[in-house]
Amino acid sequence: MKNYWKRGEPMVMVAGATLAMVLFMTLTMMAVILGNSLGYFWIKDLVQLKLKDGSAVLGQITGSESHALTDEARIQLKVGNRDLYAQDFRWVDEQEIAGREYPDHAYLLERMEHGNFFGYLQGLTKADGTAAAADSVTLAALLHEVQQGKQGLKSIRKQMSKLNMASERLRLKIQKLDYNGAEANSAKIAALTDQRAKLTEQFDQLNNELNQKISELNKATALFRDADGKEKELPLTEIVRFYQPNSMSVFAKSGIYLIKIKELLLDDPRESNTEGGLFPAIFGTVLMVLLMSLFSMPFGVIAAIYLREYAKEGKLVQLVRIAVNNLAGVPSIVYGVFGLGFFVYGIGGSIDKLFFSHQLPTPVFGTGGILWASLTLALLTVPVVIVATEESLASIPKGIREGSLALGATKFQTLTKVLLPMATPGIMTGLVLSMARAVGEVAPLMMVGVVKLAPTLPFDGTFPFFHMDRKFMHLGFHIYDVGFQSPNVEAAKPMVYVTTLLLLVIVIIATSLAIRFRNQMRRKYTTSHF
Amino acid sequence: MPPTIVDKSRRNDRWAARLITAGGLFVIVAVIGILLLIAKVSLPLFYSPTADKLAAVPPEFASLLSAEPATAVQQVDLEEKGSVSARLLPDNRIELQRRLVERDILGTEKVSELKETLADPLPGAISAFRLGRNGQNLYAATANGWLLRWDISEQQARLADTVQAFKDQRRITALTTVMGEYSLAVGDEKGQITTWMPVRTPGAGEDKHLALIHTLPGFSTPVVRLLPSPRDKSLAAFDGQGTIRMVHMTSERLLLELKAGGPVVAAAFADRGRKLLVAGADGVSQAWELSIPHPETSLKTLFGKVWYEGYNKPEYVWQSSAATDDFEPKLSLVPLIFGTFKATLFAMLFAAPLALLGALYTSQFMSPGLKGKIKPAVEIMAAVPSVVVGFLAGLWLAPLMDHNLLALFMTLVLVPTLIMLAIFAWRPLAENTDFGRGMKGYEFIGLLPVVALGIWLAGQIAPPLEAAFFAGDLKQWLFSTLGVRYDQRNSIIIAIALGFAVIPIIFTIAEDALSNVPRNLTAASLALGASRWQTAWRVVLPSALPGVFSAVMIGFGRAVGETMIVLMATGNTPITSWSLFNGLRSLSANIAVEIPEAPIYGTLYRTLFLSAVLLFVLTFIINTAAELLRQRFRKKYGRY
């Protein structure tokens, strides 16, 4: 085979190798994300290390490494108990370890604050001050009781927030009256102020009641000690969940795994977003994307129809088409800058001046919010919709148009009855692609309304239900914020990986859908050549 | 059909046509209007400042004009730290009087009164002198062009500088310190205005000496008075005929020229530098309301080297804010443009060969069944959000490489070597066995384990090698032997992460272009006896070249504007260094970092908008060129 080289077979192999490298990188990325996120909810066993200096450490093994020069190995433990040790992780040299065991009665507590606690149960105190047996059954019973009590508090909190909202509305009304002329409206203002005072009184009453109940609940405590014997008394209200991982079956652990996934999808975040759920971020992302499609879809489709069906083909249209095509390639940050300058400060500022001048300088619309964010992203994705719609219209054979027109249909009838139904998969492709892009876009959102923690959802039960001026949370920004701006990045990493996986799954599903639509479309109209 | 229905549908059609046209045009105009709107925000940076003459000096400021002290005596009030005053004696010496108050922790005051006559020999007659407003320096100038500086921060005044400022022995007529007390502004009888600051000169050790930094637009007649603005690094300069020029030190811009109509005997800034008051020799006072929103910006400060306060030479610097108010903003876009291109260039060097060869393989050699699976997979890759790539690069790859830097270099050597070996080993199998023939179109699958093996081997070999040759720590070795500083988030990370993000884009477009080359061209080539590689390389690639080129350009455009990856995977340090081991800051990441803190319509805010315009224009040009190329390509093969 002396012409193996001459015929360039090795070069084919080299080209194949580059593809192999690209695939390898992709697979590595997937493996890293899956490996780091799927394991997060699996409860690892607690190991207790006896060290040679006589102390003991209780924790979960999270990693190991060996030193290149000395071949000394060390393992990384997650020791939790942030309030006691100030650090979540600890490296332990292998040669320091005198013995390791997996005590059955070791507890893992998920807490409202300070991360997990690893330790042993010493004693339990009931709400009435009497001691109870220190075992997991009693703890479970007491915890259940306390959590039920906490559920009861919810209704009080709800009432309080309603009162608060009503009082705030009154405050704004008073402010407005004051702004329009304190003299003329003094009677009204006095009446409203009275009303507000009453509300405040009610609020204080409820608040007292709430505090009383909370302090009552807090009376039920559990006494834990860590591996070294340091004691820590925890009110049961602080505990979210507890397990004894070393005595749990695989089946039980799987159950917890599912519960945690449910928590991830449906609960609010805890511990400055590093634990708990992602619900507000998921909700914010979905709502923003839907709102965005509401803007970008009709405009994009109309523009495409104009370009393809109505505009006279010529230099100008060709130029416009190039311009629109290229707008899809303009950096997203530029759209963000535009959104900030035009929507937020320009339009938002004007709205504030016109309708909310009594509230200035506190901005209502003159600051980032979900409306501005979705408008900015709509602008960013309009070119995607235009290009996809145009392409699908262009791929419909001319004969179909001519046939329809020859039968006496007007252009508009041809469009709505023939062309649009045929182009639907293409339009859907554009829509889904634009949604996929919007879900993953972060840079422009940082300027026009995304925040790390939004106290309220943009959509809720209070009038007018949909609060377009509110700021919101977003999965992509969550990744950036928790991964790069949280004080304890190492402890937050697993959460970021989980968020990444979730975002990736959403994007991949959306894109696959779009690709499927498009392929359907192609198969329908392209005639095979050669 | 009844005529009414026909009429109705015709009417509908007309309305729809109008509506769609209007809607379509609206969208297109709106989308294109973006550029204009961003540009509109950034343009005021370059507008000329204005001044409105007020009808009279506002009475609340009138006292400022009368309080002008006699020129022979200057006093500086240091508030709770005491006061300093200087007096020019008739015998050409300066008398310095200081009242210094020191407080200890308990709050007891210790007051020391110091009085001395500066007896240093002087090169000429003193024509102007100036006490620094922080009481640290005393400046004097002579009638024959010398500048003197006494350091009066210690108990004993010390003559720190004696500089012959002008070789032509011109008379220096006005002196003042610029806001911040770092620079000295000098006006002379030729009408020139210059600024000077202490600079570390080569050969002079640790001592800093006054050096000429900026030459500002001056007059043709002597400068009689210089007045520093309390707001920024601007000066008001006066000549003997009552012409007033507002100039800015950093930008060397002539901001405004005002006419007082006659010689000025007193002048002051009021209202935090927003108003300028002057009193004429004829006893008439005038006042102007100044509107100078962005004095520190000029094309030179944005794109040229500027000698900033505290620096030893003119440099490109981006530093938008600091802890103090009298800070000189450094808004050079050059380090950011440099960072953008550095990141893009490295990323493209990494991505383009991989993506193009991969696309060539996929379109020409891969078995069609597999191709139908690989292409969508790559397209899905293109949709991976950049925040995901950035996160992995910053928090997974960067620490990993920090630990295994040598392994990365070993990979660069080992993987190609192993692939070469695999190609050699493959040769006898390729066409002699069924297996070899069957692998045609699937070669890359066989190479996947080879790549994995190379990386694994590199990971195994690197630690002992590092121990043997680099004392166990390559980064330390790099620093001590080559003087190279290694940042954890550096340009290699960016090249890989940004490259990884643009690979799918280049791949998809290039693959489309290559696949669209008419099959009858390849068929003809193959029929004439060319091998599959020869056909791909000599027939398909040249035909698809415009499309392939446009793929690279679109990838380039995407890399230029990418924000999140650069933001997360570099240290965002605005430095101009080509080193692979340093971080960088790109235009886009800079916008994301700084705009939340930029006061609306301030200089920084508008400068960031200007950088957005730059990005917009840059990507628009690149993408338009790519699109034109692609259209040409389509036209070329449209007839098949």
Q: What CATH code is carried by the domain that includes residue B152?
A: 2.130.10.10
Q: How far, rounded to the nearest angstrom, does the alpha carbon of residue A358 sit from its chain's CA centroid?
A: 35
Amino acid, res. A526: T
Residue given tokens 């998920």 in the structure block: A110
Domain shared by B447 and B407, yes or no: yes
d(CA B85, CA B100): 11
Structure tokens at B344: 């893009």
Buried-state track A474-509, b at ≥16 Cβ within 10 A, e below 16: bbbbbbbbbbbebebeebbbbbbbbbbbbbbebbbe
Percent of residues in chain B assigned helix, strand, coil, to nearest 5? 50, 20, 30
| Residue B159, pLDDT above cutoff 50 | yes
pLDDT-derived band of residue B640, with 50, 70 and 90 as boundaries? very low
* Residues B313 and B362 both lie in one domain: no
Q: How far apart are CA A473 and CA B301, in angstroms?
A: 39
* Residues B586 and B601 placed together within one structural domain of the fold: yes
Q: What local confidence, expressed as pLDDT, does residue A464 receive?
A: 72
B27 belongs to a structural domain:
no
Suggest the residue from B360, B378, B384, B477 to mutate for an interface test with chain A (most A CBs closer than 10 A): B384
In this predicted model, which residue has the larger pLDDT, A196 or B524?
B524
pLDDT of residue A1: 47
Instruction: Tell me the CATH class for A279-525.
Output: mainly alpha
Q: Is the pTM here over 0.95, yes or no?
A: no
Closest C-alpha among A524, A307, A296, A515 to residue A421: A524
Per-residue model confidence (pLDDT) at position A12:
87
Contact state of B353 with A436 under an 8 Å Cβ cutoff: no
Do B317 and B358 belong to one domain? no
Measure CA of the first residue to CA of the last residue in chain B; give whole Å.
Answer: 44
Q: Is residue B44 part of a domain?
A: no
B380: nearest CB among A330, A386, A511: A511
Q: What span, in angstroms and rounded, lies between the C-alpha atoms of B350 and A237?
A: 54
* Residues pairing with B159 in the sheet: B150
Work out the angle between the directed axes of helices B603-637 and B3-42 (0-180°, nearest 10): 130
Q: List the single residue in B28, B592, B623 with the smallest CB-CB distance to A333.
A: B592
Tokens of B198: 């202490």
Confidence of residue B71 (pLDDT cuts 50, 70, 90): low
What is residue A254's three-state secondary structure? helix
B16 touches chain A (CB under 8 A): yes
d(CA B304, CA B314): 9
Dihedral sign for Cα B313, B314, B315, B321, please: positive
Q: What is the mean pLDDT of chain B?
A: 86
Task: Tell me the average pLDDT across B545-574.
Answer: 89
User: Contact at 8 Å (CB) between B240 and B222?
Assistant: yes
pLDDT band at B285 (very low <50, low <70, confident <90, very high): confident
Neighbours of B473 (CB within 10 A): 16
- Tell me the chain B residues in contact with residue A443 when contact means C-beta distances shorter than 8 Å: 386, 563-564, 567, 588, 592
Q: Give the pLDDT of residue A530.
A: 38
Asked if B430 and A1 come within 8 Å (Cβ–Cβ), the reply is: yes
Residues B467, A69: C-beta atoms closer than 8 Å: yes
A345 has a chain B CB within 8 A of its CB = yes
Q: Is residue B214 located within the same domain as residue B317?
A: yes
* Distance in angstroms (rounded) separating the CA atoms of residues A281 and A454: 9
CA-based nearest residue to B532, from B356, B365, B359, B371: B365
Tell me what pLDDT residue A225 has: 83
Q: Report the share of chain A in percent with pLDDT over 70.
A: 96
- Residue of chain B minimizing CA distance to A26: B381
* B586-599: average pLDDT: 89
Q: Which residue has the higher pLDDT, B57 or B609?
A: B609
DSSP state of A326: H
Question: Residue A347: which of A323, A328, A375, A325 has the closest Cα?
Answer: A375
Q: Are A246 and A231 in contact (CB under 8 A)?
A: no
**Phi first, then psi: what are they for B457, rounded to 5°?**
-60, -45
Give the one of A7, A382, A411 whose C-beta lies nearest to B534's C-beta. A7
| Chain A positions in Cβ-Cβ contact with residue B536 (cut-off 8 Å) | 12
B216 and B304 in a single domain? The answer is yes
Q: Does A317 touch chain B (CB under 8 A)?
A: no
pLDDT in tens, B21-50: 887 777 777 767 877 888 888 888 888 888
Beta strand residue intervals within A131-200, DSSP E: 131-132
Whether A480 sits inside 8 A of B445 (CB atoms) is no
What residues of chain B, 225 to 244, have a C-beta less than 8 Å from chain A? none
- Residue B500: pLDDT above 90? yes
Among B331, B350, B379, which residue terminates a domain?
Answer: B331
Contacts of B467 in chain A (CB under 8 A): 68-69
Q: Residue A513's beta-bridge partner residues?
A: none
* Reported confidence tier of residue B204, pLDDT bands at 50, 70, 90: low
Q: Residue-wise pLDDT tens for chain A (530 aa)? A: 457 777 788 888 889 899 999 999 999 999 999 988 888 888 888 888 888 888 888 888 887 877 655 667 888 888 888 888 877 888 888 888 888 888 888 888 888 878 888 888 888 888 777 777 778 888 888 888 888 888 888 888 888 888 888 888 888 888 877 777 777 777 788 888 888 888 888 888 888 888 888 888 888 888 888 888 788 888 888 888 888 888 888 888 888 889 888 888 888 887 777 778 888 899 999 999 999 999 998 888 988 888 888 888 777 787 778 878 778 888 999 999 999 988 888 888 888 888 877 777 777 777 888 999 999 999 889 888 888 888 888 888 888 889 999 998 888 888 888 888 888 888 888 888 888 888 888 999 988 888 888 777 777 766 677 777 888 899 999 999 988 888 777 778 888 999 999 999 988 888 888 888 877 776 666 544 43
- Residue A54 sits at φ, ψ, to 5 deg, of 95, -15
Q: Domain limits at B475?
A: 334-637
Q: Are residues B493 and B462 in the same domain?
A: yes
Please give, rounded to a whole number of angstroms, the shortest distance from the CA of A183 to a CA of chain B: 32
Q: How far is CA B335 from CA B304, B492, B590, B605, in A?
A: 11, 18, 11, 18
Q: Which residues from B are below 8 Å from A320, CB to CB? A: 28
In chain B, residues 79-108 whose CB comes closer than 8 Å to chain A: none
Q: Which residues pair with B149 in a beta bridge?
A: B139, B161
Least confident of A464-468, B6-10, B288-292: A464-468
Distance of alpha carbon B439 from the chain centroid = 52
Q: Do B500 and A29 touch (CB under 8 A)?
A: yes
Residue with tokens 């840079």: A443
Q: How many CB pairs under 8 A join A and B?
A: 312
How many Å lie between the alpha carbon of B624 and the closest alpha carbon of chain A? 6
C-alpha pair distances (Å), A45 with each of A40, A108, A244, A245: 13, 9, 9, 5
Report, in angstroms and rounded to the nearest whole number, the Rg of chain A calculated over CA atoms. 31
How close B364 comes to chain A (CA, Å)?
9
In this structure, are residues A305 and A415 in contact, taking their beta carbons and an 8 Å threshold?
yes
- Does residue B191 share a domain with residue B289? yes
Q: Measure B269 CA to nearest chain A CA, in Å.
A: 29
Enter the tokens of residue A143: 């915890």
Contact residues, chain A, for B558 at CB < 8 Å: 329
The reply to whether B283 falls in a domain is yes
Q: In angstroms, what separates the C-alpha of B112 from chain A's closest C-alpha?
A: 49
Q: Which two tokens stand for residue B230?
A: 């309390």
Residue in the block written with tokens 């990838």: B555
3-state secondary structure of A110: strand
What are the boundaries of each domain within chain A?
279-525
**Is the CB of A16 less than 8 angstroms away from the CB of B443?**
yes
A505 reaches B (C-beta below 8 A): no
Enter the DSSP assignment of A389: H
Is B597 at the interface with chain A, CB within 8 A?
A: no
Number of domains in chain B: 2
- Whether B381 contacts chain A with CB within 8 A: yes
B191 and B149 in a common domain: yes
Q: Which two tokens stand for residue B492?
A: 């290699």
- pLDDT-derived band of residue B495, with 50, 70 and 90 as boundaries? very high
pLDDT tens digits, residue range B314-340?
889 898 877 677 788 888 999 999 999
Structure tokens at B34: 């973006």
Q: Which residue has the tokens 């200007």?
A: B610
In chain A, what residues touch B29 (CB-CB under 8 Å)? none
Neighbours of A230 (CB within 10 A): 12
Same domain assignment for residues B341 and B456: yes
Task: Establish if B88 belongs to a structural domain.
Answer: yes
Tokens read off for B95? 């008398």
Residue B17 lies in a domain: no
The pair of structure tokens assigned to B282 is 């004829």
Q: Which of A329, A412, A254, A388 is nearest to B624 (CA)?
A: A329
- The residue behind tokens 């639509």 is A517
Helix or strand run (H / E) with residue A58: strand A56-66
Interchain CB distance below 8 Å, A311 and B27: no
Residue after which a domain boundary falls, among B331, B356, B390: B331
Cβ contact A334–B520 (<8 Å): no
Q: What separation in angstroms does the CA of A78 have from each of A85, A91, B632?
A: 11, 9, 60
Q: Give me the CATH number covering residue B550.
A: 1.10.3720.10
**For chain B, percent of residues with pLDDT exceeding 70:** 97
Q: Which residues contact B410 (CB under 8 A, 6 or more apart)?
A: B457, B458, B461, B462, B465
Contact B399, B488 (CB under 8 A): yes
How many residues are present in chain B? 640
Q: Is B470 on the interface with A (CB under 8 A)?
A: no
A4 interfaces chain B, CB cutoff of 8 Å = yes
3-state secondary structure of B82: strand
B617 touches chain A (CB under 8 A): no
Contact B391 A496 (CB under 8 A): yes
Domain identity same for B277 and B411? no
How close A94 gets to chain B, by Cα (Å)? 20
Q: What angle do CA B592, B598, B600 make, to 5 degrees?
A: 120
pLDDT band at B637 (very low <50, low <70, confident <90, very high): low
Q: Of A2, A3, A21, which to mutate for an interface test with B (greatest number of B Cβ within 10 Å)?
A: A21
Same domain, B134 and B264: yes
- What tokens appear for B81 in the block? 């730290």
With vertex at residue A180, the alpha carbon angle to CA A178 and CA A183, rounded to the nearest 5 degrees, is 60
